[in-house]
Structure 1
Amino acid sequence: MHFQHSDEIWSDFPELVAGVLVATGITADAAVEPRLEPFNERAAARLTAGTEADLPEIQAWRRTFARMGLKPTRYRCASESLLRRFRKEGALPSIHPLVDLCNAVSLAFAIPVAALDLAGVSGSLQVGYATGDETYLTLSGEPEHPEAGEVIFADAAGHAHARRWSNRQSGRSAVRETTRDVLIVAEGMHASAAEDVAGLTAALAAAIGEVWATPVRTAALTRTEPRFEIALRTGAG
């Protein structure tokens, strides 16, 4: 079982920087609230000078969405949507300790973070262009089919685990109370993404390791080393 971006994605988006983490032993009863505040404070400080649309990380993803033929103000990357809600409401709703932590880190770095329950993933997972035959489940369980050519996270069984790249995750692999093993992916497109994604990955890995007392494996993916092998104690997929 592995995770990777397709050759076509690396060719079409050479500025992509991707960081990945795998953690096991995740539970829904962990206390993460004290760890969220520093990340929230960092996000709030960055938003004092303007809106999320002014941040270079968000501007880069908007350019990427435009290149994919999507209207950036209609389809937003996950970190922009989180920042927009955070700016308007002053906080994000609590969903699950791991999701709350990932969302806080995404806010702080303005970089989209996807957390996937590996129990919902069949075989290996690849970010690439959809054929249009894949099946995507909304968070409410409604089936959809991505458009041909759309960038998706797809597994070996043809399940789409994210639509429009970093826009929307699937209910099939959403983190929930039963989640134990997770794959987390962070992707940046901006000029300092290499440094920032590495910082995000390190911060998130440290927090997960401390909260759940579990080892966390991390890697930086590149066009020359695009593949991350997923090894689990309990197995998944």
Structure 2
Amino acid sequence: MAGVYFQHADEVWRDFPQLVPVALLAERITGDPRPEEIIERFEQRASARLATTPAGQLPEIQAWRRVFTRMGLKPTQYRCASESLLRRFAKEGSLPRIHPLVDLCNAVSLAYAVPVAAFDLAAVTDHLEVRYAVGDETYVTFGETAERPGAGEVIFADGAGYAHARRWSNRQSGRSAIRAGTGRALIVAEGLHPSAADDLADLTSELADSLTKIWSIDPPTTVLSRTAPRFDF
């Protein structure tokens, strides 16, 4: 795992200069904790926002819809992960519990209305880069079906040519999904709305604090930019 890094390609920064991404490294993760109190606090904040504003009208979601439109995708057909979570949460009143890390990231995503992804680093080769697909990458669904992202699609790609997410923040791959045996994970959150810089800084602080409370770890964190696009770990 030496030399592993995460970054956004310069072409992504060029086309989306308003992007604010943050990354955290979570090590010594286990599936044992049940951090229900922490998760419920984030969910309560999401409930309060949704009580006055539908998910599709939140500025964080509207920003992602504009990005999806720019990528040639219908934003009501292909939704960013945070909008999908918010819509399900608004309809059902809760989200299914999967793994404490996934549950935490989902809850934070609900509270901040931005996509928060967690990748099992055991399944990532060399690096993880948000870039435009060439068209020869392999994406593995949760049902273990292999797909080829189209050339020009924004993906999370590693050094072995695997796409760990399709359509930017729309679909994460089953290949690097968090599982019971996950011990080391990269967490990525991205915002494009006007207050993203402040909101993502708060998100990072709260998420890091939650990771410390749940797993007694001190996760390295970073806010990325076009001039400092790379997170080495």
TM-score, length basis structure 1: 0.96
1:97 is matched by which residue type in structure 2?
P
The residue that corresponds to 1:21 in the other structure is 24
In 2, distance between residues paired with 1:94 and 1:140?
A: 19
* Matched position secondary structure for 1:211: helix
2:53 is matched by which residue type in structure 1?
G
Q: What stretches of structure 1 of length at least 5 have no aligned partner?
A: 231-237
In 2, distance between residues paired with 1:32 and 1:162?
A: 27
In 2, distance between residues paired with 1:202 and 1:118?
A: 22
In 2, distance between residues paired with 1:178 and 1:59?
A: 36
Q: Which of residues 35, 38, 48 is equivalent to 1:35?
A: 38
TM-score, length basis structure 2: 0.98
The residue that corresponds to 2:56 in the other structure is 53
Q: Which of residues 98, 103, 107 is equivalent to 1:104?
A: 107
- The structural deviation recorded for 1:100 is 0.3
1:131 is matched by which residue type in structure 2?
V
In 2, distance between residues paired with 1:149 and 1:213?
A: 41
* Matched position secondary structure for 1:92: coil
Q: Which of residues 193, 199, 221 is equivalent to 1:190?
A: 193
The residue that corresponds to 1:210 in the other structure is 213
Within 5 Å, which residues of 2 pair with 1:1-237? Answer: 1-230=4-233
1:163 is matched by which residue type in structure 2?
R
Moved over 4 A (4+): none
The C-alpha deviation readout for 1:126-175, integer Å capped at 9, x for no partner, is: 00000010000001111101010000000000000000000010011000
* Matched position secondary structure for 1:200: helix
* Matched position secondary structure for 2:209: helix
RMSD between aligned residues? 0.5
- The structural deviation recorded for 1:105 is 0.4
In 2, distance between residues paired with 1:134 and 1:125?
A: 13
In 2, distance between residues paired with 1:50 and 1:205?
A: 28
* Matched position secondary structure for 2:180: coil
- The structural deviation recorded for 1:40 is 0.6
1:217 is matched by which residue type in structure 2?
P
- The structural deviation recorded for 1:23 is 1.1
Instruction: Tell me how many residue pairs correspond in the alignment.
Output: 230
In 2, distance between residues paired with 1:36 and 1:15?
A: 29
- The structural deviation recorded for 1:50 is 2.7
* Matched position secondary structure for 1:173: coil
1:108 is matched by which residue type in structure 2?
A
1:213 is matched by which residue type in structure 2?
S
1:43 is matched by which residue type in structure 2?
A
